[in-house]
Chain A
Amino acid sequence: MVPGFGGNTLRIDLSGGTVTRAPLDPAFARAWLGGRGYVDKIVYDEVPRGADPLGPENRLVVTPGVFSGHFAPSGSKCCFGAVSPLTNGPGDSTVGGHFGPELKFAGYDLLVFEGIAASPTYLFVDDDRVELRDASKYWGQGTMDAERMLKEDLGEDVEVACIGPAGENLVTCACIGHDYGRQAGRCGIGAVMGSKRLKAIAVRGTKALPVHDLPALKASTLEIMKRTAQHPNMAPWQKFGTAMFIGWSNEHGVYPAHNFQTTYFEPYAGIDGQVLVDRLLVSDKACFGCWMNCGKYSKVSLPGRDTVYVEGPEYETGSLCGGNCGFEQIEQVAYVNWLFDRAGIDTMTGGGMAAFAMECYEKGLVTRDQLEGHEMRWGSIEDLEHFVDMLTGRRGIGDAFARGYAAAAAEIGGGAERLTCQVKGQGMSGYDGRPSPAMLLSYMTADIGAHHNRSWTITMDEDLGRDVLTGKAKVVVHLQHIRPFFDTVSCCRLFWGEVDVSDEEHIEAIRQMTGWHDFTLEETLLLSERIWNLNRAHYIERNGGPGRKHDYPNARFYEEAVPTGPSQGARLTLEDLDLMLDEYYVARGWGNDGNPSREVLLDLGLDACVANLEREGLIGSLTAPLPPVRGERYKPKAF
């Protein structure tokens, strides 16, 4: 057994009702580290290419990485992954809180679910005792209520991850909730869980986590704690969390307003971090092992509605469920946050879907009749509440939205596709790429679609010039290799990005946990590149080639100029996007068609991908020599 890990894996066949325990293979652990490393490898190897993401052959992979559960900067994360019903490609989403550490304390690094249970089921992991149990009592409950009921039944010391009605009803943007308001939000993994009739996973872990050199890990973490406590960024992060960036995003003209029609929301001061703290804050909230406590627990009272409690809104919800849907008051945004959380819908794609519906209604593409007599007006709680109900219950036009952007646009017609702000079916994060081309390139090339945390480049775009298109692709590639590190080892990237805990300090912590004395940053970057290419191969094996055809956003982002605000007039053309993609594919060692080349795949040890792509005629041809190192670090600091 490798120190630092829980040491065991569970394979759960929901169709057969069996659970098989096996020790974690040390070679597998070193090769793929955990988190999305395990997810992407397992779904590539095990899920047949034609399999329905909501069918029995898909896998639901649950995995905390090596950091999770340790006395180290925010080792709190747990990854949930599968073939995504939203993108039809490999998908993963990571949640903080306490679930990942609890799994490690119970002795587990990896859970793989397959099949479909005959009736609503939950898995109870109580250290060595692992049981599939009847979940009919909890089926139909919202995520917070289901979590509370399970804790009442099993004990307050149990950690719960569960789906809400949206996941049960296979809404493709359904999330997995944990800790009364944290979510594994992206990629619709909650729908995969629902397709397996798995309502929840409840875990109690009471064991000690083995550490190779505990005195050294304690000493270095204590030093990091003392240093970061004095860091100037720490106090604002503790006080406001990510919500403090609503103002910046508007003043820099990258904030999504009214379904990304523009990039400035004039009433933003009513929904920013200061009013959140002044009007809603009950308490700060932290994940396991974190002293940044960026989570904000809020009390929300709206006229005519019950008072509710919600964690948030953080930046992404404050943008996509805020100005993007036309909400001008923090209480409204927080209430929408709660509505989505209760239903078990990702606030990001959910907020994007709602804004899409609002613009369709504004343009007369969706009618009152289709909305069961309701409207879908910007900034209307009543309308949004009804829309969430239709989406969750898959009633009428809500069923089309539940199947995703493409299905909704096809059902609506009238050119609605250009209003779907997404890439590969994943709703865009809360930054508009038109004034920040490398950010748009990041969205376009991300394996899971338009998600910001695969690579975030807006500072670089500011530095090098927002109108500059070339020279940035190599940095996007590098960032796409940095980010998977945090998602494989399951630690929060905020300590690295915001309070200057270095790459090397993270690597040294892993050496102290595991005893892998020869572990290096270069090894993690190589793994990240391996994951990136594995996922690219997987995506085009499932969705056909050439890869390039999947890498475009909706037409708004290359045909419409930003009409108002600080970025007024910013626009990109299709030729601009192609120029960036050309450069990106060269930097990656892919063909100009966006298909990975034989050379780069073999260099990364992905021989199986070569065989699969060659068989399907999907291998790329290099147009330039393979770069010996793919990606380039941006100076002065690699974000």
Chain B
Amino acid sequence: MVTVLIKAGGSLTEYLKPDADAYTRRVEARAGETLRQILESIAVPPGHVAAASANGSLVALDYVPKDGDAITLVPPVQGG
């Protein structure tokens, strides 16, 4: 198992249901699971994720998180 901290704001917060702090949820996942699979398992719709970063670098949803990763999800830009 790996433990990842997933953080999200804006419209994603209500899907994420943070528990560690106002924006962060601690998630236990099976080693080898992709970020997309992890999000689906906790009912965060991947379609609402416009960008994701792992430890500060942009990653795709097929990224396989490592133990201790800090993942940030960003909802779609609202016109920029």
| B7 pairs with A232, CB closer than 8 A | yes
Q: Looking at the complex, which one of B48, B72, B76, B79 makes contact with A232 (CB distance below 8 Å)?
A: B72
Binding-face segment, A322-330, A384-392, A492-500: A492-500
Interface of A is mostly: helix
Within 8 A of B (CB), among A288-342: 294, 314-316
Q: Looking at the complex, which one of B48, B49, B58, B78 makes contact with A497 (CB distance below 8 Å)?
A: B78
| B51 pairs with A248, CB closer than 8 A | yes
Interfacial chain B residues near A65, Cβ < 8 Å: none
In the assembled complex, the CB of B8 is this many whole angstroms from the nearest CB of chain A, namely: 6
Q: Looking at the complex, which one of A233, A636, A639 makes contact with B14 (CB distance below 8 Å)?
A: A636
| B79 pairs with A452, CB closer than 8 A | yes
Closest to A235 in B: B72
User: Could you tell me the distance between the alpha carbons of A492 and B13 in the complex, rounded to whole angstroms?
Assistant: 23
In the assembled complex, the CB of A468 is this many whole angstroms from the nearest CB of chain B, namely: 15
Interfacial chain A residues near B60, Cβ < 8 Å: 247, 251
The answer to whether the Cβ of B74 comes within 8 Å of any Cβ in the partner chain is: yes
User: Could you tell me the distance between the alpha carbons of A239 and B57 in the complex, rounded to whole angstroms?
Assistant: 9
Interchain Cβ contacts within 8 Å, total number: 95
- The number of residues on chain B lying at the interface, defined by a beta carbon within 8 Å of a beta carbon of chain A, is 29
Q: Looking at the complex, which one of A316, A462, A500 makes contact with B9 (CB distance below 8 Å)?
A: A500
Render B16-59 as a binary contact track against A, CB cut-off 8 A, 1 for contact.
00000011100000000000000000000001111101001110
Q: Looking at the complex, which one of A230, A247, A248, A493 makes contact with B78 (CB distance below 8 Å)?
A: A493
Residues A245 and B76 in contact in the complex (CB < 8 Å), given A274-B58, A459-B11, A637-B11: yes
| A456 pairs with B79, CB closer than 8 A | yes
| B58 pairs with A314, CB closer than 8 A | no
Interfacial chain B residues near A244, Cβ < 8 Å: 50-51, 58, 74
Q: Looking at the complex, which one of A239, A273, A494 makes contact with B56 (CB distance below 8 Å)?
A: A239
Interfacial chain B residues near A405, Cβ < 8 Å: none
The answer to whether the Cβ of B77 comes within 8 Å of any Cβ in the partner chain is: yes
Closest to A248 in B: B50
In the assembled complex, the CB of A506 is this many whole angstroms from the nearest CB of chain B, namely: 14
| A459 pairs with B58, CB closer than 8 A | no
In the assembled complex, the CB of B13 is this many whole angstroms from the nearest CB of chain A, namely: 8
Q: Looking at the complex, which one of B8, B14, B48, B79 makes contact with A453 (CB distance below 8 Å)?
A: B79
Residues A458 and B76 in contact in the complex (CB < 8 Å), given A231-B9, A274-B57, A500-B10: yes
User: Could you tell me the distance between the alpha carbons of A639 and B76 in the complex, rounded to whole angstroms?
Assistant: 10
User: Could you tell me the distance between the alpha carbons of A494 and B78 in the complex, rounded to whole angstroms?
Assistant: 8
Q: Looking at the complex, which one of A230, A240, A462, A500 makes contact with B51 (CB distance below 8 Å)?
A: A240
A interface with B by C-beta (< 8 Å): 230-233, 235-237, 239-240, 242, 244-245, 247-248, 251-252, 272-274, 294, 314-316, 452-453, 455-456, 458-459, 462, 483, 493-494, 497-500, 636-637, 639
Closest 5 A/B residue pairs (Cβ): A497-B78, A456-B79, A248-B50, A242-B80, A232-B9
